[in-house]
Amino acid sequence: MISSRTFTFRDKNLEPIWDKVRSGERLSKEDGLALFASDDLIGVGRMANEVARYKSGDAVYFVLNRKLEPTNVCVLSCKFCDFAVRADSEQAYEMTLDDMLSKLRPDLHEVHITAGLHPKWPWEFYIDMVREIKTQFPNVDVKAFTAVEIDYFSKKFKKSHEQVLRELQQAGLRTMPGGGAEVFSERVRKELFKQKIGARTWFEVHKTAHRMGIKSNVTMLYGHIETIEERIDHMLQVRDCQDETNGFLSFIPLAFQPGNTGIKTRNDFTSAIDDLKTIAVSRLMLDNVPHIKAYWVMLTAEVAAVALNFGADDMDGTVGEERIAHDAGAISPMELAKNKLISIIHESGKLPVERDVWYNPIELYPKKEWSVVSKMPYLNSVPFYQEFESHLNDIKIAPLIPSALGKFARDGVATAGPLSLRDFMTVSEDFERLDYGIAVKGKAHSVLLFSKYDWSELKGKRIGITADTSTSVELLRILLEKKHAISDYKFERMKRESFRNDYTQYDAVLLIGDEALRCAYSGGFAGFNLMYDLAEEWCSWKELPFVFAVWAVRKDAPEAVKNDIVRALEHSLKASTGHYAETGGEYGRLLGMSSSQVEHYLNTFRYRFSIDEHTAMAEFEMEYESLKNVERAFSLSADLQSV
Ligand code: SF4
């Protein structure tokens, strides 16, 4: 269930739509049209804000990024494009590799590259571009080339889409931008950009990328000649593709800038009402796309701040630095842009979260008076948050995977959350334990070792470890060394963005949370014939439950905050107990699980702790401390902390 809130709408047509949204039912095309037709803008925005809170808590993401447009020379001349010129134009420019490198700095996390379709540049130049950036700036993730460019490379250099993407991926490409989508309408395409690829090729390229583990964004250019129905159709096509590949990270509605295109008069911009409604409707229609972006450079800071309460949860990044740098004074443009983003997000009452290209949180920037509580973004944690958010004041919710919560707890930024047991052990001086957490006696179904070998054959084998874990990796170590007497094994931390093709290089792979569930419910993956449930292994060995996470609150947190958290947990657990199919239905549906599977899964967990769970925690701590190679365990975990 997405929300238990009831709203009073000025437009009564929104009531049945809200009933669908709050229960996690997918909206239809007619619902989308009704949302656009409604004059109850606030009503539409409140619904979208509830969905965004369900997905991202109070977090609003931004990234330290830089946009590179290596050339404006393009072989096409799309009607709406105010950027491209012919090679012989006075405005034509071409950047060298050195020009590009000189624009980057090591503290960036993303470089976003798109350009005109250059008639002469050789294939090697593009490969060198990606490789050189990755070599000189290893921390900068390369997000490059729209589907239009990929298709152009494919035709020009006589390579398949897959070959083009494979070579770029090998050079260091991590993700793709979502440009070139415009509006997926043949009518609009024929009118405005008839030489450019249409929806079929655009999706073909993105689906190929997604299959290869290259995630991407998707844009929608609105506010020109498209109809509202065409906007909704665009969203529905994105939703269908996402059902198939789960490869889109964010949806970006882009307001059309008339400029000198001649399509509209120069100052005929979209209205703030249209911008806000489009963002809100996108959030409501695209139930399976994780993030909706308010591209602040185009929207203006004022509209973007409001958009963050209309369903957007991402502001892109510091791309607008040059513009801001104009009045920058002594502060570096990047710092200024970052501070500006943080203040816009604060102004909207949300929590700024600096992210990487994959939305892994790098830093949190709460206001001093705010407490940050983690929302574990796994299905097994849904019962904690059913009524949580409506019971908290001055508390901001951030979705943090176990290893990230551990890091932010150690850094003193996170106030409370379901800490992984292993992380709780490292912060127990500063945190107090509550009698809530995630424990299981028997199978957990979501802490799984997929293996090519039996336990007894894992000696000397390479085991890939998910980057999410803090406790399960130590549980695996204990099981290997203490239960199965195997000490000679190699753990290798996998990148968070690893995909299934990467798993095959290992002899066994430890997965947790939703990724483990997804793999288990889709029948595992090729080559790994054995699947061990680590909780079941522990429980049958110790005849005790296994505790994965324990709720803990900073000892120095205000009493009112501690009381609020306990009250919210009680309310949530009471509201969800006996209704797990409903509580986790929406979440499970996106994982491909039926409501009875969700109910069965959630029923396996114990969320309130008794003496049994406390005994189990003590037993785990004892086993963990007694491992002979505890040094090695810490060094691996330290590595994981950087995730
Ligand atoms: S392909 Fe891209 S850069 Fe070239 S004219 Fe069209 S929109 Fe502009």
For the stretch 380-400, pLDDT in tens is: 999 999 877 666 768 999 999
For 582-629, the pLDDT digits (tens) are 889 888 888 888 999 999 999 999 999 999 999 999 999 999 988 855
For 4-50, the pLDDT digits (tens) are 788 899 999 999 999 999 998 999 999 999 999 999 999 999 999 99
Per-residue confidence (pLDDT) for residue 542, from 0 to 100: 96
Ligand 1 atom closest to the CA of 152, numbered from 1:
1
For 205-238, the pLDDT digits (tens) are 999 999 999 999 999 999 999 999 999 999 999 9
Strands lying side by side in the sheet with 141-144: 65-68, 110-113, 141-144, 173-176, 215-222, 248-255, 291-292
Using the structure block, give the residue that is written with the tokens 């593009």: 126
**CA 234 / ligand 1 centre spacing (Å):** 20
pLDDT at 525 over 60: yes
pLDDT at 323 over 70: no
Highest mean pLDDT among 277-281, 354-358, 567-571: 277-281
Which residues does 434 contact at the CB level (< 8 Å), separation at least 6?
A: 550, 551, 552, 553, 565, 566, 569
**CA 507 / ligand 1 centre spacing (Å):** 46
- Domain end: 346, 363, 380, which one? 363
Strand locations in 484-560 (E): 490-493, 508-512, 530-533, 546-554
Q: What is the CATH number of the domain that holds 621?
A: 3.40.190.10
Ligand 1 pocket member 78 (CB < 6 A) = yes
Ligand 1 atom closest to the CA of 117, numbered from 1:
4
Is residue 291 domain-shared with residue 242, that is, in the same domain? yes
Ligand 1 pocket member 254 (CB < 6 A) = no
Is residue 175 domain-shared with residue 293, that is, in the same domain? yes
Proportion of the chain above pLDDT 70, given as a percent: 93
Total domains, the chain: 3
Site to substitute for ligand 1 among 152, 191, 196, 201, most atoms within 8 A of C-beta = 196
Average pLDDT, the chain: 90
Per-residue confidence (pLDDT) for residue 279, from 0 to 100: 98
β-strand partners of 547: 439
More confident residue, 249 or 629: 249
- Domain end: 542, 568, 587, which one? 542
CA nearest to 261, candidates 307, 224, 234: 224
Is residue 256 domain-shared with residue 169, that is, in the same domain? yes
Is residue 462 domain-shared with residue 603, that is, in the same domain? no
Task: Choose the weakest-confidence range: 250-254, 432-436, 559-563, 587-591.
Answer: 587-591
194, 237 contact by CB (below 8 A): no
Atom 7 (ligand 1) nearest CA:
81
**CA 109 / ligand 1 centre spacing (Å):** 26
Is residue 515 domain-shared with residue 633, that is, in the same domain? no
**CA 250 / ligand 1 centre spacing (Å):** 22
Per-residue confidence (pLDDT) for residue 296, from 0 to 100: 81
Is residue 475 domain-shared with residue 416, that is, in the same domain? no
230 is a domain residue: yes
Per-residue confidence (pLDDT) for residue 257, from 0 to 100: 80
Confidence band for 333, pLDDT divided at 50, 70 and 90: low
309, 45 contact by CB (below 8 A): yes
What are the phi and psi torsion angles at 145 (to 5°)?
A: 70, 120
640, 477 contact by CB (below 8 A): no
Is residue 326 domain-shared with residue 280, that is, in the same domain? yes
Ligand 1 pocket member 84 (CB < 6 A) = yes
356, 141 contact by CB (below 8 A): yes
Per-residue confidence (pLDDT) for residue 495, from 0 to 100: 77
Atom 1 (ligand 1) nearest CA:
76
30 is a domain residue: no
Range of 357's domain? Answer: 60-363
Atom 3 (ligand 1) nearest CA:
116
Per-residue confidence (pLDDT) for residue 386, from 0 to 100: 82
Average pLDDT score over residue span 321-327: 39
Per-residue confidence (pLDDT) for residue 500, from 0 to 100: 66
Residues 102 and 251: their CA atoms lie apart, in Å, by: 30
Which tokens belong to 86? 């012919």
Which tokens belong to 270? 């979209």
Residues 61 and 355: their CA atoms lie apart, in Å, by: 6
Ligand 1 pocket member 147 (CB < 6 A) = no
Residues 554 and 174: their CA atoms lie apart, in Å, by: 37
32 is a domain residue: no
Is residue 136 domain-shared with residue 215, that is, in the same domain? yes
Q: How far is CA 114 from CA 65, 84, 94, 322, 465, in A?
A: 14, 12, 13, 17, 34
Confidence band for 353, pLDDT divided at 50, 70 and 90: very high
Q: What is the CATH number of the domain that holds 277?
A: 3.20.20.70
Site to substitute for ligand 1 among 69, 72, 73, 74, most atoms within 8 A of C-beta = 74
**CA 78 / ligand 1 centre spacing (Å):** 6
pLDDT at 361 over 90: yes
Per-residue confidence (pLDDT) for residue 629, from 0 to 100: 53
- DSSP-assigned letter for residue 480: I
Per-residue confidence (pLDDT) for residue 329, from 0 to 100: 41
Ligand 1 pocket member 55 (CB < 6 A) = no
**CA 248 / ligand 1 centre spacing (Å):** 22
180 is a domain residue: yes
Per-residue confidence (pLDDT) for residue 223, from 0 to 100: 93
Residues 52 and 194: their CA atoms lie apart, in Å, by: 36
pLDDT at 201 over 90: yes
pLDDT at 497 over 70: no
Residues 614 and 616: their CA atoms lie apart, in Å, by: 5
For 76-126, the pLDDT digits (tens) are 988 878 888 999 999 999 999 999 999 898 889 999 999 999 999 999 999
Residues 474 and 470: their CA atoms lie apart, in Å, by: 7
Task: Choose the weakest-confidence range: 107-111, 199-203, 295-299, 471-475.
Answer: 295-299
For 270-307, the pLDDT digits (tens) are 899 999 999 999 999 999 999 999 988 778 888 888 99
Ligand 1 pocket member 85 (CB < 6 A) = no
CA nearest to 291, candidates 17, 29, 51: 51
42 is a domain residue: no
pLDDT at 526 over 90: no
Residues 445 and 512: their CA atoms lie apart, in Å, by: 9
Which tokens belong to 595? 């409501």
Confidence band for 241, pLDDT divided at 50, 70 and 90: very high
Query: How many beta carbons lie within 10 A of that of residue 511, not counting itself?
Result: 27
**CA 355 / ligand 1 centre spacing (Å):** 29
Is residue 325 domain-shared with residue 470, that is, in the same domain? no
17 is a domain residue: no
CA nearest to 55, candidates 493, 567, 590: 590
Q: How far is CA 373 from CA 459, 555, 563, in A?
A: 40, 14, 13
Cα within 13 Å of Cα(370), Cβ side: 20
**CA 87 / ligand 1 centre spacing (Å):** 13
Is residue 408 domain-shared with residue 375, that is, in the same domain? yes
119, 73 contact by CB (below 8 A): yes
Average pLDDT score over residue span 344-364: 94
Per-residue confidence (pLDDT) for residue 335, from 0 to 100: 64
CA nearest to 174, candidates 212, 218, 143, 129: 143
605, 535 contact by CB (below 8 A): no
For 58-81, the pLDDT digits (tens) are 999 999 999 899 999 999 988 878
- Domain end: 344, 363, 382, which one? 363
**CA 201 / ligand 1 centre spacing (Å):** 16
Is residue 490 domain-shared with residue 520, that is, in the same domain? yes
Per-residue confidence (pLDDT) for residue 488, from 0 to 100: 85
Task: Choose the weakest-confidence range: 237-246, 420-429, 517-526.
Answer: 517-526
Average pLDDT score over residue span 500-520: 87
350, 59 contact by CB (below 8 A): yes
pLDDT at 261 over 50: yes
Ligand 1 pocket member 341 (CB < 6 A) = no
Residues 455 and 142: their CA atoms lie apart, in Å, by: 39
52 is a domain residue: no
**CA 210 / ligand 1 centre spacing (Å):** 24
CA nearest to 174, candidates 137, 219, 119, 120: 137
Ligand 1 pocket member 179 (CB < 6 A) = no
Is residue 463 domain-shared with residue 525, that is, in the same domain? yes
357, 109 contact by CB (below 8 A): yes
Q: How far is CA 334 from CA 7, 44, 95, 331, 493, in A?
A: 41, 35, 22, 8, 32
**CA 79 / ligand 1 centre spacing (Å):** 9
1 is a domain residue: no
Ligand 1 atom closest to the CA of 75, numbered from 1:
4
CA nearest to 164, candidates 123, 202, 213, 207: 123
Residues 214 and 202: their CA atoms lie apart, in Å, by: 15
**CA 297 / ligand 1 centre spacing (Å):** 20
Atom 6 (ligand 1) nearest CA:
78
Which residues does 625 contact at the CB level (< 8 Å), separation at least 6?
A: none
Ligand 1 pocket member 312 (CB < 6 A) = no
Cα within 13 Å of Cα(639), Cβ side: 16
Per-residue confidence (pLDDT) for residue 399, from 0 to 100: 95
Per-residue confidence (pLDDT) for residue 194, from 0 to 100: 86
